[in-house]
Structure 1
Amino acid sequence: MAPKHDLQYPKGAQNTLNRYSDRGSYDLEKVHKIVNSTPVLHVSFQPDPSDPFPAILPMIGQMGSFERPSSSISDPLDCYLHGYISSRVMNVSRAAIASGKPGLPVCIAASKVDGLVLSLTPNSHSYNYRSAVLFGYATPVTDTEEKEWAMEMITNSVVPQRYDNTRIPPIPAEMQSTQILRVTIDSASSKVRDWIPSDSAEDMANKEVVDKVWVGVVPVYETYGEPIPSPLNKVEKVPEYIEEFLKESNEEGLAYATAAGKRPLPVKAKTNHDE
C-alpha cells in the first residue's frame, strides 16, 4: 500500500511561520479541525482604503464544500461564514465583487486554550493552545441551494442534528435577512502547543528556585452545563441528541486538555524553552 501523503497549504508570505515554527503545520486536516471546533471565529478585513484601521468581527463559521459535500476534513474546503444581510462585511464583500475583484480579502483566526502553563519564571509561562489562521477571498453566496446547505452545516456545528430538529425550512424572510459568505482559501497554517512546562537548564538546576516555585499545567477546556429550558419550552425531556453531544464534548475536552498537560517536551522544545 502506498504511503499516505497529507495535503498541505502552500507556504507564502502570509502564512509562513517564523517564531516557534516547529509548533506549526500547513496540513489541511489540522487546520480545518481547529477551525471547525472553534465556536467563534475572528474575521478581519479592510473596510475602506481610506480607513487606517482594519475591522475584526466575531463570526460563526465552518469549513465545508458545497460542490463536494462528501469531502473529508483533510480535503480542500471553503470556509462558510454566517451573518446579517446588511452588515458591513457583507456590504464590502458585495462591493468587491461588483468592482471586478475575486472577493474581499479576509483573514480568519481560530484559537483554543487548552491549559495554563506555569513555569519557574514569568518569562517562561505560556498556554497550551491550538490556533489556525486562514487567508482567503470572501464572496456572498447567491445560490439558494448552497445557502440553505451552508445554513444547515453551520447550525449543526452548534449542536449536531440540530437543524433537522427545528422548524425548517427557513421562511423567505429568514433567508432574505441572512447572508452567507464563502471564503475561498488562498493559504493557511496552524500552531499548537500541547506539552509540559519548559524552563532553561540554568533555572532547573537552581535548587532554591525549584524548591519554592510550583510548576505544572492547569487544564483548560470548554464545559457545557445542564440545559436550562426556556419559559416557552413545552418539551418535557431534553432530547437525547443534545444530551449525547454535551456528554461527549465535555469528555473529549477534558481528555485532550489533561493529556496535553502531561505530554513530554518535544525534542526541539527541550533546547528552546518558552519565552
Structure 2
Amino acid sequence: MADTKTIVITGASDGIGAVAARELAGPEVTLIITGRSPDKLNAVAEETGATAFVADFARLDDVRALAEQINGAVDHIDVLLNNAGGTFEPNRLRTVDGHEPNFQINHLSPFLLTNLLKDKLSGALIVNTSSVGNLVGKVDLDDLDFEKRRAFQTRCYGTAKLENILFTRGIARRWADDGIVSVAVHPGPVASSFGRDSFFIGLLYRTPLKKYGTITVEKGAAPLVELARKGADPKLNGQYLERFKKGHENKQASDPTLIDGLWTRSAELTGL
C-alpha cells in the first residue's frame, strides 16, 4: 500500500476547492479542508471523508487558530492548496483587522497560514490560486491597504492576485533548500460563486452572461488537481501558470525588491 499523502485545501466549501477535494479524496489521502461556511464545508467533508476546519480569512485570529488545528492534526503536509479568496468591494468595508479585504483575504491570510504551517511543509508543494487579473494590479509597499490610492475594485483584486505570484516567488527564494516547491496558477474564468461580494465583477458570474465567458467549475479545478497529483516538481518552482501553461504576468511579478519587500511587510503586518 502506498504511503498516505496529506493534502490541505483552503476555500473548499464550494467552487473549485470543493471539486478539487472530491477529485483528490481517496483511501491513500489524508484530506483537510477549510472554509468559512460550516454547513457547506461539512457537506463536502461528509462526501469526501475529509477533516473540516472552519475559518474566516477576514479574521487573522481565525487563521492563527486554523494553523494550530492543522498543526495538531497532522505530522506532515504534502500539498497545500491556498485556494481561499474572492473579490470584494474595497470601499464598502475593512476587515476586523483593519485591512483592505482583497489584500487580506487573498494574500495576507494565506501568507500567515503558510508560514505558520512551515514546519510541516518540508518537501511539500504549495499552490497559490492567482488570476490573470494580476495584469491590472500594482503593488505599492508603502500603501498595501490602498489608504493613499483610490481603491478601484479591479485594481485591488488584481493587486492581490499579483501578490499571490510575488508570494509564490518569495517561497521559492527562501524555502527551496527545504524541498518546498511553490506554484501560482490561474484556474480560468470559472462559473462559480466568485464575485458574490462584488456588483460589477460579479455580473459576469451571476447572470446568463456566464455561459459565454466562463468555464465549468470542474474544468477550473483541473489545474489544481493535476498539480496536487504531480506533487513537488522542482521544475515548476516559482512559476505562474494560466491553467496548464506559462502565464501572462505583470512586470512587477519578477521584481526582487517587491518579492522580498512584500514578504517583509506581510510578516510585520501579521506579527510573524
Q: TM-score, normalised by structure 1?
A: 0.24
Task: Kindly name which structure, 1 or 2, has the bigger radius of gyration based on alpha carbons.
Answer: 1
The answer to which structure has the higher helix fraction is 2
Higher RCO by CA contacts (8 Å cutoff, separation 6 or greater): 1
Q: TM-score, normalised by structure 2?
A: 0.24
The answer to which structure has the higher strand fraction is 1
